[in-house]
Chain A
């Protein structure tokens, strides 16, 4: 019980990054070692999950708390609840998949390959840290520090406009983060202070003045909205996703951007319940706008990676709506959506990466009829796309359904508009599939899915199906944490409350 599970998860990938970086020049074992470390970390994470007990009264489990900078009130404090544990697991499942997908991304000349995989492992460590931190300062440290590996992953290994993409990404995130820093400090000063003043548990339920609470809420929310990303501060994402390697995009969009929505739940709602409700109308409108604008930008987008990025903007709109509808169903749905979206994005980006590697172009107009050349890849694209448009039986359906059902209860009109999102999603996905895969057979001679690529796609599709047909374990994990959050906000479900198991049952 006293084994430091989370510290191990944090340190192991970092050690892996160091080992990979220090392997001799031209070493052939860079990729296997990187993969080994990522799998080992995943195994430890599974071990940690077995130690986690659902329904324990504690908000955070597997906690480790040590003083770090007592002069500032900072502790090295790790711990997980259902939401953060599921995000960590999502990240750690996706990392080995991404490493396999990125196997041939970087030729083994110089030390570039070393750098590439070392950065990926370093990023893994940051993923664990940012979700496991239960000290606001520590969270902030990881929140900013994770920008650095992503910055170099995009900037050193991306496409032709990589420098611009990396800088845009960095400056957006940094600007949001630094504003949040002011709010972080002010929050500490408003709290009990002392040597453990930054612990999340010491900052929940503060007696803030209305005005202070609202300002602080905005400070946090802006950073998370940029990260999530929400319209109108989403503009860094399409550029970053377009220029980054698909594997980088998966980790960035699929996992790291969840810090935005995770942060809204963990910090905005829990610390500033009054301000959250005050801001809800505006945020719901922004989220709805994200969903609709993202979808429209995705329809008929010519750049494949850009298209996927816009679908994510749209999906994040859904997630934020779910969070700010303040019902158990929508929030459980939103958090489940965070997991689902990770897999969906991974499927879309990685399959698109396979297509791009074969065609040498991201432009959809260069494709057409590929289901005749590469039926397996086209099929994988279709399945991932269907997961993105929330086809019943695949993962996203359950979560999207829960969000919409809950929205109808709380805000019927927004529910109606949100439901149209399903139509837009079907449009952009099917139009993309049509343009890429259908049509006359192109004059090309490219191989279909290789063995390695099958190892990439298989676990993702398996996840689609498992989460689509049997989401109960994940929901059981998420629900206590969601209820805890709603308790902090002090809102109860509207009557008649819909039991989640019913929603899930009808979802099937």
Chain B
């Protein structure tokens, strides 16, 4: 009993953005319990939006003066963490607006009224008659966002694990809430949950091995142990790889990608957009910190593995995207390929690697959310028309929407003057400068392959014959704002990327 307990110092002001989001989520839960059905939507949407805006303001105003490691060394509030937190909040805001789309109905259009009841059951029909609402998606999303923000700043493997669960659990639920094709949605949810749990278990096991190696869960102490300890590779290397499995699963990198197409397809489309953009940011943020802070000293051991995963992701994602016939699955496979591109930047292990990875995450997020928002609007006899054939001739029916989607496809393909090109340039430049030219060559070839499917979609939209009953639902200002903002950022980062590049470069130093 020699040591007295000293309370750890906690920088509550620095943590404020996260606290705001968590509190917003909890208040949202209370609203679900106490507000009447009729008012819930009207309360939840402004609450969620206000929470995110407030969190963003708190980040911008307070964060720069409150950098540092806090919470007994478990939370790092440094440049990358705060930049990625801001990115997550902004992307979540756009995603939230798309989720709130009602398309003239009484409640969010993409979500079922009774997620807990079996599809086609009497309970479900009863919930529909009763006018049940699905506003629980808003607090769920906020809680997930809180988990993501914590994920990118966690400086401790245990906290990292907690954040992983906090961000994942709401996503499992959200995935199962699609209003139409509910069986598919529930299947996706179950699949995601099971595989996600497995990957979490891998992560935990890896964390335990690393603890055995270093005697601590803290990333900085693991780093210190790597430089001072010799001969414990039997614990270290498997530990790193198992932890990496958990994180690579979240970004959908090959060979941990099997869930991606099914979940992307089954989840309610606005959720898919949110998930694709924000989860990637969070998981890559955590991966950056893990690789650059904790296990940088052992990079000779894991760098070849990560490079191989990057190459496989690009190749498999690109090649399999070509044979897809469903727009959401195309975007899912393309997200796998994009995960490979981002890993290409990450693996280069220098400062340009950090900044280019963060920049790419921003560009990818801002093109993914509007892309899925547009997918959610294309309808055929009441359900989403996601078969490529149903998109035939869309350009004539909805020229503006199609033009927007075409532009996003150009960005996905990495055509110059879109953010997609700038992002690819950044990661490939980082990779080549560190001797990964072969990875960049695979990357550009994969880009050329994916370009085929993007342009096949564009060809269908503009040159195909009009498909029978495909319609475009008239979106409200919420969705329109999200789409326009995403497209504008995609164009802006293609023509004038300097400000964001500056920001990414000036914040690309981790605190240890």
Residues of A within 8 A of B (CB): 68-72, 140-142, 144-145, 147-148, 151-152, 155-156, 162-163, 166-167, 170-171, 174-175, 178-179, 181-182, 185-186, 188-189
Over the window 395-415 of chain B, the binary record of Cβ atoms lying under 8 Å from chain A Cβ atoms (1 yes, 0 no) is 000000000000000100111
CB-defined contacts of A72 to chain B, threshold 8 Å: 425-426, 429, 501
CB-defined contacts of A181 to chain B, threshold 8 Å: 425, 428, 444
Decide yes or no: A171 and B452 within 8 Å by CB, A155-B462, A185-B432, A186-B437 being known contacts: yes
CB-defined contacts of A147 to chain B, threshold 8 Å: 415
Interchain CB contact under 8 A, A167 and B425:
no
Interchain CB contact under 8 A, B459 and A182:
no
Chain B interface helix/strand/loop/mixed: helix
Closest A-chain residue to B448, C-beta based? Answer: A175
Interchain CB contact under 8 A, B451 and A189:
no
Over the window 409-431 of chain B, the binary record of Cβ atoms lying under 8 Å from chain A Cβ atoms (1 yes, 0 no) is 01001111100011001101100
Contact of A141 among B416, B433, B444 (CB under 8 A): B416
Give the complex CA separation of A179 and B442 in angstroms. 10
Contact of B498 among A69, A142, A151, A166 (CB under 8 A): A69
Does B455 interact with chain A (Cβ within 8 Å)?
yes
How near does chain B come to A233, taking the closest CB pair, in angstroms? Answer: 14
Residues of B within 8 A of A (CB): 410, 413-417, 421-422, 425-426, 428-429, 432-433, 437, 440-441, 444-445, 447-448, 451-452, 455-456, 459, 462-463, 497-498, 501-502, 505
CB-defined contacts of A68 to chain B, threshold 8 Å: 498
How near does chain B come to A200, taking the closest CB pair, in angstroms? Answer: 18
Contact of A145 among B415, B428, B437, B505 (CB under 8 A): B415
Interchain CB contact under 8 A, A179 and B441:
yes
Top 8 A-B residue pairs of the complex, sorted by shortest distance between their CB atoms: A178-B444, A141-B416, A71-B501, A175-B448, A144-B416, A185-B429, A163-B459, A145-B416
Select the residue from B425, B426, B462 with max chain A CB neighbours within 10 A.
Answer: B425
CB-defined contacts of A141 to chain B, threshold 8 Å: 416-417, 421
CB-defined contacts of B422 to chain A, threshold 8 Å: 69
Give the complex CA separation of A230 and B255 in angstroms. 40
Closest B-chain residue to A180, C-beta based? Answer: B444
Closest B-chain residue to A73, C-beta based? Answer: B429
How near does chain B come to A488, taking the closest CB pair, in angstroms? Answer: 24
CB-defined contacts of A69 to chain B, threshold 8 Å: 422, 497-498, 501
New A-B pairs, 9, CB < 8 Å, besides A71-B502, A189-B432: A68-B498, A71-B501, A140-B416, A144-B415, A162-B463, A175-B448, A182-B440, A182-B441, A185-B440
CB-defined contacts of A71 to chain B, threshold 8 Å: 497-498, 501-502, 505
Give the complex CA separation of A463 and B429 in angstroms. 45
Interchain CB contact under 8 A, A145 and B444:
no
Give the complex CA separation of A155 and B414 in angstroms. 20
Give the complex CA separation of A181 and B429 in angstroms. 10
Closest B-chain residue to A167, C-beta based? Answer: B455
How near does chain B come to A127, taking the closest CB pair, in angstroms? Answer: 16
Interchain CB contact under 8 A, A148 and B498:
no
Closest B-chain residue to A155, C-beta based? Answer: B463
Closest B-chain residue to A142, C-beta based? Answer: B416
30 A–B pairs (Cβ distance < 8 Å), ordered by A: A69-B422, A69-B497, A69-B498, A69-B501, A70-B498, A71-B497, A71-B502, A72-B501, A144-B421, A148-B415, A155-B459, A155-B463, A162-B463, A163-B459, A167-B455, A167-B459, A171-B448, A171-B451, A171-B455, A174-B413, A174-B451, A178-B448, A179-B444, A182-B428, A182-B437, A182-B441, A182-B444, A185-B432, A186-B437, A189-B432
Interchain CB contact under 8 A, B445 and A178:
yes
Decide yes or no: A163 and B463 within 8 Å by CB, A145-B416, A174-B448 being known contacts: yes
Interchain CB contact under 8 A, A166 and B459:
yes
Give the complex CA separation of A179 and B428 in angstroms. 12
Give the complex CA separation of A167 and B433 in angstroms. 33
Contact of B451 among A140, A170, A186 (CB under 8 A): A170
Give the complex CA separation of A189 and B433 in angstroms. 7
CB-defined contacts of A186 to chain B, threshold 8 Å: 432, 437
CB-defined contacts of A162 to chain B, threshold 8 Å: 463
